[in-house]
Amino acid sequence: MLTVSAIKADVGSIGGHTRPSKRMMEASRAELSGAVERGLILDFDVTHCGDDICLLMIHGKGSDNPEVHNFAWDVFTVATAIAQEDGLYGAGQDLLKDAPSGNVRGAGPGAAEISFDETAKERPAEPFLIFTADKCGPGAFNFPLWTVFTSPLFNAGLMLPKMKPGFRFTVIDMEHAGADRIIELESPEQHIDLAILLRDENRFGIKAIYSRLYPEQQVGAVSTDRLHTIAGEYKGKDDPVCIVRTQGIFPAPEEVVSPYFTAHFVAGDARGSHHMPIMPAPINTAITSAYCIPLVACMAYSVTKDGKLSEGVDVFGNPVWDATRLKAQGKADEMRRQGFVGPAMLPTQELEYSAFRTVLAELDAQFRIVER
Ligand code: 13P
Ligand code: MG
Ligand code: MG
C-alpha cells in the first residue's frame, strides 16, 4: 500500500497574504528530507500556491496516519516560528488548535490523501495531479470535478469502456462541525443529485471519488475542512488541495484540467468575501493582483512502486494557459466594477463568519417596525 498525502496550510506570508518566505520553504524541505532519512516517509515535494505551503508526502503508512499528520503539524510549527521571527503576516494563521490529536483534519491545515495498492494490475504506472488553490474554499473544486467525472462534454474519455461504468462520489456537508456528515452518490445515474448538492459550493464539497469498475480504487480526494466550521469565525479562506490520479482506468491529465479553461467563479478573494474567477497559475506564484484573484496551481507527478517521486511538471506554468489567465483577469475586472453589490459579494450567511457580523448586527439593532 502506498499513500499520497498532500497537507497544506498558511502559516505566514510576506507583506500581506502573498507567499511564504524562502526561509520557511527551505526549512520545510529540510524537515521532509529528515523524515525520508529516518524512514517516516518515502519521498516528498514542497510547493506553495499564494501564501499556502503544500507538503506532498509519499509513504506506506496509510491515510489519516497519526505519525504522518503529527509530523506535518510539526513542519508547519517550524515554519510558523520562522514567520514569527521574521515578523511575517499571519504567522501560524491556520494552526487553530494547540496540537492535533493525531489528525490535522479539524485542526486547521487541509489534507487530501489517497492510498492504493501499488501492485494492482490495472495500474501499471501511477501518474497523478496535485491541485493547490489559494483565496478560495474546497467548493472551488466542485465544478471541475463534477464536469470531468460526469460530463462527456468536458471529458470524452467517459465514453470508453473503463470509465463508462462511472464513479462513486463521497460528498461532505462542510457546515457540519465535528464528525463528518457525508452522502455517497453514483454517476452517471445520480449526476443530477450530485449537481443539486454541488451547486452550493459553500456548504457541500467532494471529499472523495472512486472508480465503479474497480471499487477499491480511489481516483480523487479534496481537503474539505472549512476553517470557520472549526473556529466559528473567519480565519482566512480554506485554500484547498486536491489529488487526482490519472490515465488508464481514470481520466487523462489533459481531460482533468480541461474545465479550468472556464476560469469559473468561486467564493473567495479579498477577505474571503467575494465571487471571483479562479486563475490557473504557475506553481509557487505569489498573490499580488488587485483584490486577490483566486489562484489554482497544478503539478503532475509520477511515483514508482517503491514510492520514489519523479520531478514535478508545472501544468499551468505554460503559455497555453495565458489566454485563460487574461480571460480570468477580464472576468475579475467585470465583477469588481460592481464593487460590493449583488453577486460581487458572498451571501450574508457566509459573511456572518467574518467581522461583517459585527457591522451587520449594529445596523440590525437600528431597524424599527412602522405600522401601516
Ligand atoms: P488567506 O486565507 O490566503 O490567508 O487569505 C485571507 C484573506 O482574507 C485575503 O484577503
Ligand atoms: Mg494568509
Ligand atoms: Mg492562503
53-95 residue pLDDT tens = 999 999 999 999 999 999 999 999 999 999 999 999 999 999 9
pLDDT-derived band at 237 (thresholds 50, 70, 90) equals confident
Residues 72-82: tens digit of each pLDDT:
999 999 999 99
Q: Based on the residue annotation, tell me whether 10 is a catalytic residue of this protein.
A: yes
Whole-number pLDDT of residue 184: 98
**Exposed, middle or buried, 88 (CB in 10 Å: 0-12/13-18/19+)?**
buried
Residue nearest to atom 5 of ligand 1 (CA): 236
Higher-pLDDT residue of 352, 225: 225
Atom of ligand 1 nearest to the CA of 273: 8
Query: Is the CB–ligand 1 distance for residue 51 below 6 Å?
Result: yes
Q: How confident is the model at residue 323 (pLDDT cuts 50, 70, 90)?
A: very high
- At 343, is the secondary structure helix, strand, or coil? helix
User: What pLDDT is attached to residue 256?
Assistant: 98
Is the C-alpha dihedral spanning 99, 105, 106, 107 positive or negative? Answer: positive
Cα separation values, 259 from 71, 142, 263, Å: 34, 11, 8
Is residue 237 among the annotated active site residues? yes
In order of 46, 120, 278, the CA distances from 282 in angstroms are: 14, 33, 13
Positive or negative torsion for Cα 94, 96, 98, 103: negative
Q: Provide the pLDDT confidence category of residue 332 given band limits of 50, 70 and 90.
A: very high
pLDDT band at 234 (very low <50, low <70, confident <90, very high): confident
Q: Which amino acid is at 249?
A: I
Domain residue ranges in the chain: 2-359
pLDDT band at 34 (very low <50, low <70, confident <90, very high): very high
What pTM value is reported for the model?
A: 0.97
Is the distance from CB of 93 to CB of 49 less than 8 angstroms? no
pLDDT(126) > 80: yes
Judged against a pLDDT cut of 90, whether residue 357 lies above it is answered with no
From CA 244, how far away is CA 113, in angstroms rounded? 10
- What's the sign of the alpha-carbon dihedral 207, 211, 212, 217? negative
Percent above pLDDT 70 for the chain: 100
Give the pLDDT band (50/70/90) at residue 231.
confident
Residue from 237, 209, 242, 205 nearest 224 by CA: 205
User: What is the chain's mean pLDDT, rounded?
Assistant: 96
Q: Is 291 a catalytic residue?
A: no
Return d(Cα 210, Cα 220) in angstroms, integer: 7
Q: pLDDT tens digits for 240-260?
A: 999 999 999 999 999 999 999
Tell me, using a 6 A CB cutoff, whether residue 135 lines ligand 1: yes
Q: Inform me whether the pLDDT recorded for 189 exceeds 80.
A: yes
Distance CA 164, CA 159 (A): 5
Ligand 1 atom 6 nearest Cα: 236
Residue nearest to atom 1 of ligand 1 (CA): 236
Over range 148-155, report the average pLDDT.
96
pLDDT of residue 15: 97
Q: Choose one of 10, 19, 135, 295 to mutate for the ligand 1 pocket test, by most ligand atoms within 8 angstroms of C-beta.
A: 135
pLDDT of residue 141: 98
H or E element: which one contains 242? Answer: strand 241-245
Largest pairwise CA distance in the chain = 77
CB contact at 8 A, 229 and 175: yes
pLDDT at residue 21, as a whole number: 98
Q: Is the pLDDT of residue 158 over 90?
A: yes
Buried b (16+ CB within 10 A) or exposed e, 298-311: bbbbbbeeebebee
The catalytically annotated residue of 10, 43, 238, 239 is 10
